[in-house]
Every structure is written in structure tokens, then in C-alpha cells.
């Protein structure tokens, strides 16, 4: 597993561009909120650390991970952010529901990235068990929310350089 070799919260802060002019939308799944709320905190803390103003961070919650793509599209259309981060957690169970949700949200996020001229960041944990999720939501493997915030800033910077 990739996170066994690198902590999700470890990065060189000097490699992150100034984000003081950014507007960022964050969609958070309510399902598995014991995981998604720490992911949200990590994302917000990291965005603010790199200059994003609190009033330029738009947070909205959706019932579950599958609903993230619709929520992210609405966020992009209505709030017009520079990037959208989606945060969710799907834990494998005894039915194929895990596969359907993961496939749907992955394909939906890919389509959003192709449809809009802003980056949509995939911050969905897809784990075999709850402990793996805990480990990636501020546990021993860091916080995926931190990584998503850094990715949003870097991708926005890349888009700006192309303009």
C-alpha cells in the first residue's frame, strides 16, 4: 500500500504555492463522519496554513460518498471556486455495495475533471476496514485531507500557469 511508504501529511511546505487568492469548495460525506470530519479539519487547516482565507472556503455536506459528485458539480456551478475537494469514506463490507459506490464516485470525479476548467480532488478513502480509515484520517498514515488541500493548491497553480 502506498501510504505505508509515505505519510499523507508529509510534504515540503516550500513546494506549495501561495494560495491567498484561492476560493475552495469542499464537499464532505456525512456517512462515516468519524472519519470524514477529521479529513475536513485537515483540509481546512492546510488550506489556511497556505493562505486561503476562511471566508473563501465553502463547505457543504452530502449524505454519503456517492452523492459527492453531484454536490461537487453544484458547488462548481454555484460558488465558482478555483478547486473542489471531495471527502468521503467507504469501508468494504459483505456486499458488492462498496464496489458500486467506489466505481460510481471515481467515474463521476473523472467526468467532473474533464467537464470543468477547475480541479476536482478525490479525497475518498476506500478501505478494507475501519482501522485503515482511522489510520488515514489523522492516524499513523497522516491525514488525507492535508494531502487533498495541497493537491488542490498545486493543481490550481498549474491551471493558472497555463492561462
Query: Does residue 120 lie within any of the structural domains?
Result: yes
Number of independent structural domains in the chain: 1
Closest CA relative to residue 57, chosen from 145, 162, 158, 144: 145
CATH number at residue 58: 3.40.50.960
What's the pLDDT score for residue 1? Answer: 47
Range of the domain at 59: 42-162
- Residue 104 pLDDT class (50, 70, 90 cuts): very high
Query: Does residue 92 lie within any of the structural domains?
Result: yes
Query: Does residue 26 lie within any of the structural domains?
Result: no
Query: Does residue 19 lie within any of the structural domains?
Result: no
- pLDDT tens by residue, 109-152: 999 999 999 999 999 999 999 999 999 999 999 999 999 999 99
Residues 6 or more apart whose Cβ sits within 8 Å of residue 81:
22, 23, 24, 25, 58, 75, 118
pLDDT, the chain, mean: 95
What's the pLDDT score for residue 3? Answer: 64
What's the pLDDT score for residue 94? Answer: 84
**Does 141 participate in catalysis according to the annotation?**
no
C-alpha span between 122 and 97 (Å, rounded): 19
Burial of 38 (0-12, 13-18, 19+ CB in 10 A): buried
Query: Does residue 84 lie within any of the structural domains?
Result: yes
Query: Does residue 152 lie within any of the structural domains?
Result: yes
- pLDDT tens by residue, 37-91: 999 999 999 999 999 999 999 999 999 999 999 999 999 999 999 999 999 999 9
E strand or H helix at 11, and its extent?
none
Query: Does residue 50 lie within any of the structural domains?
Result: yes
pTM: 0.96
Closest CA relative to residue 106, chosen from 156, 153, 54, 66: 66
Query: Does residue 20 lie within any of the structural domains?
Result: no
Amino acid at each position: 500500500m502506498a501510504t505505508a511508504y509515505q505519510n499523507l501529511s508529509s510534504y515540503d511546505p516550500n513546494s506549495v504555492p501561495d494560495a491567498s487568492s484561492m476560493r475552495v469548495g469542499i464537499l464532505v460525506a456525512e456517512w462515516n463522519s468519524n472519519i470524514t470530519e477529521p479529513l475536513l479539519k485537515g483540509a481546512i487547516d492546510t488550506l489556511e496554513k497556505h493562505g486561503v482565507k476562511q471566508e473563501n472556503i465553502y463547505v457543504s455536506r452530502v449524505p454519503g460518498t456517492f452523492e459527492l459528485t453531484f454536490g461537487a458539480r453544484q458547488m462548481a456551478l454555484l460558488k465558482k471556486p478555483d478547486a473542489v475537494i471531495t471527502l468521503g469514506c467507504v469501508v468494504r463490507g459483505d456486499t458488492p455495495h462498496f464496489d458500486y459506490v467506489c466505481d460510481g464516485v471515481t467515474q463521476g470525479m473523472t467526468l467532473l475533471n474533464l467537464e470543468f476548467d477547475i480541479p476536482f480532488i478525490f479525497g475518498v478513502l476506500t478501505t478494507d476496514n475501519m482501522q485503515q480509515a482511522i489510520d488515514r484520517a489523522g492516524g499513523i498514515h497522516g491525514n488525507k485531507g492535508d494531502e487533498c488541500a495541497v493537491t488542490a493548491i498545486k493543481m490550481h497553480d498549474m491551471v493558472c500557469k497555463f492561462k
